[in-house]
């Protein structure tokens, strides 16, 4: 019998030629179950040591309503694909869309191994702060993806929108750069999660971040609102932004 490396090489060749497990089993004198196991090994070898950005993209998603108030003249198709929800519906715990919109919850899934995926997520304040939080890369079974999606977007009334990787990358990296221009840095986990988006190419369409062209800060329960407003005053001037904060936060 051939050595294991030779067997894997032959399985890889047969698979590349379009052969299925049964055909591979017949060609190599194996049982179908053995051929299937070898195919899984081949798939794992292909992703082992491969950079996250080079692994096949399984899917990308964002919540409905993410684009409300943004400038999308350069990419009207994105705006058309995301009609604004009525009365704030589509946002987590929304009472009205003017007070609680401005967040994009992005999820990216890439192939890890034959039956495994890596998922990671970004909570993006597209009006002001950029990436506020991340879900660092997690390996899940391929069959668990739909259940994971339901959990990840469970706070929203509408199902998530399926988007292309370049859109996900533009939303996240664009918001990070916008926030940096205002004096804010992304969440600590961003460095570990960003590689799954891939590098910024430089030819992505431009989004005008901020609400109606100006930074708009809506305070969260764990924010240092006083410091954030002070930073905005320094970077934009006292009349260059809008904000809303909870009573007692300033």
Just give the CATH number of 4-47.
1.10.10
Q: Is 105 helix (H, G, I), strand (E, B) or coil?
A: strand
pLDDT at 38 over 60: yes
- Give the CA angle between residues 167, 105, 98 to the nearest 5°: 100
| More confident call, 208 vs 205 | 208
Q: How far is the C-alpha of 233 from the C-alpha of 126, rounded, in Å? A: 18
pLDDT at 100 over 60: no
Tens-place pLDDT, residues 124-164: 999 999 999 999 999 999 899 999 999 999 998 889 999 99
pTM, to two decimals: 0.77
Q: Is 245 helix (H, G, I), strand (E, B) or coil?
A: coil
Comparing CA positions, the residue from 141, 132, 137 lying closest to residue 121 is 137
Percent of the chain residues past pLDDT 90, beyond the cut: 51
Q: How far is the C-alpha of 115 from the C-alpha of 224, rounded, in Å? A: 43
Beta bridge partners of 139: 118
| Range from 40-44, 94-98, 164-168, 202-206 that averages highest in pLDDT | 164-168
Place of tokens 């055909």: 23
Comparing CA positions, the residue from 132, 128, 131, 130 lying closest to residue 213 is 128
* Helix (H) or strand (E) segment spanning residue 142: none
Radius of gyration in angstroms for the set of CA atoms belonging to the chain, rounded to a whole number = 23
Q: Give residue 91's pLDDT.
A: 40
| Range from 20-29, 33-42, 126-135, 214-223 that averages highest in pLDDT | 126-135
All CATH 1.10.10 domain ranges in the chain, comma separated: 4-47
pLDDT bin (cut points 50, 70, 90) of residue 25 is confident
Tens-place pLDDT, residues 213-246: 999 999 888 889 999 999 999 999 999 999 988 8
pLDDT bin (cut points 50, 70, 90) of residue 4 is low
Comparing CA positions, the residue from 57, 67, 63 lying closest to residue 174 is 67
Least confident of 120-129, 178-187, 201-210: 201-210
| Range from 24-28, 34-38, 231-235 that averages highest in pLDDT | 231-235
| Residue 116 backbone phi and psi in degrees, to 5 | -130, 145
């Amino acid at each position: 019998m051939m050595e294991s490396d030779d067997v894997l090489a032959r399985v890889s060749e047969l698979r590349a030629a379009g052969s299925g497990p049964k055909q591979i089993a017949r060609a190599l004198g194996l049982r179908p179950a053995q051929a299937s196991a070898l195919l899984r090994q081949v798939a794992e070898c292909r992703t082992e040591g491969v950079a996250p950005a080079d692994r096949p993209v399984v899917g990308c998603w964002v919540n409905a309503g993410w684009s409300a108030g943004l400038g999308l003249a350069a990419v009207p198709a994105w705006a058309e694909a995301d009609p604004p929800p009525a009365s704030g519906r589509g946002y987590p715990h929304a009472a009205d869309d003017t007070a609680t919109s401005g967040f994009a919850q992005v999820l990216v899934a890439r192939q890890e191994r034959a039956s495994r995926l890596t998922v990671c997520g970004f909570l993006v304040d597209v009006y002001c702060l950029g990436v506020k939080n991340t879900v660092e890369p997690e390996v899940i079974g391929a069959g668990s993806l739909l259940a994971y999606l339901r959990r990840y977007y469970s706070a929203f009334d509408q199902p998530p929108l399926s988007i292309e990787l370049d859109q996900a990358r533009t939303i996240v990296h664009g918001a990070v750069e916008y926030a940096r221009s205002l004096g804010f840095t992304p969440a600590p986990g961003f460095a570990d999660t960003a590689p799954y988006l891939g590098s910024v190419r430089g030819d992505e369409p431009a989004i005008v971040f901020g609400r109606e062209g100006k930074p708009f800060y809506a305070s969260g329960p764990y924010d240092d609102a006083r410091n954030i407003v002070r930073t905005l005053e320094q970077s934009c001037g006292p009349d260059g932004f809008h904000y809303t904060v909870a009573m007692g936060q300033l």
